[in-house]
Chain A
């Protein structure tokens, strides 16, 4: 059981380049999320998808777009990368377990924009 997988693990972009971060989960979860993690800031939600076919903005959506391709996959696209988007990006999925929702994280993508 792979859980949540992310590709790539590392990426270096030049300012203005575009790229797509891929995320897939094999736990049949309805909800999926994209976060960025910056030093001293904790995790900040970029976008989330409550179910297949829906997406919503989180705390820091500017400069990003997402696609919920199917129930398994949720991609994050940077159309024109900026140095401020240098960060570690985590994908997560969530489902109800008993009376609580638990969130499962991928290993992260470390992105540097020069």
Chain B
């Protein structure tokens, strides 16, 4: 069945460091891929998405490229800020109405 595997955390970075959070998926065909962000005490918010191979989703300095050949959708940001501290979830949606989420990666950015 469909599934998402993402890099375990927690991840701690200094401000202005480069961020990569790995995400790989298992699904047949071409699922839509998403990154969600959850700030403390809040629900999940859509950060970015990609719907087909080689698509690049981007938002707020974050980017992720849909790689069909490696079944990956890694999240990157060139220079993280303290305000980026949150939990990040990779997710996919394929046929049917269900979304599948990874277990989440906690990011802490220290000044």
Contact = CB atoms under 8 A, between A and B. Distances in A.
Asked if A and B bind, the verdict is: yes
Contacts of B46: 102-104
A106 B43 contact: yes
B84 to A, nearest CB: 19
A108 B38 CA distance: 11
Output the residue of A43, A50, A102 with the most chain B CB within 10 A. A43
Contacts of B102: 42
Nearest to A32: B97
B89 interface: yes
Interface in A26-46: 31, 33, 40-43, 45
Interface of B: 32, 34, 36, 42-46, 49, 51, 89, 91, 93, 97-99, 101-104
A107 B43 contact: yes
Interface of A: 4, 31, 33, 40-43, 45, 48, 50, 56, 58, 90, 92, 94, 98-108
A56 B36 CA distance: 24
Contacts of B104: 42
A102 to B, nearest CB: 6
A108 B43 contact: yes
A98 B89 CA distance: 22
Nearest to A42: B103
B103 A40 contact: yes
B51 A100 contact: yes
Contacts of A48: 97-98
A74 to B, nearest CB: 13
Nearest to B96: A50
A43 B38 CA distance: 12
A105 B97 contact: no
A49 B14 CA distance: 42
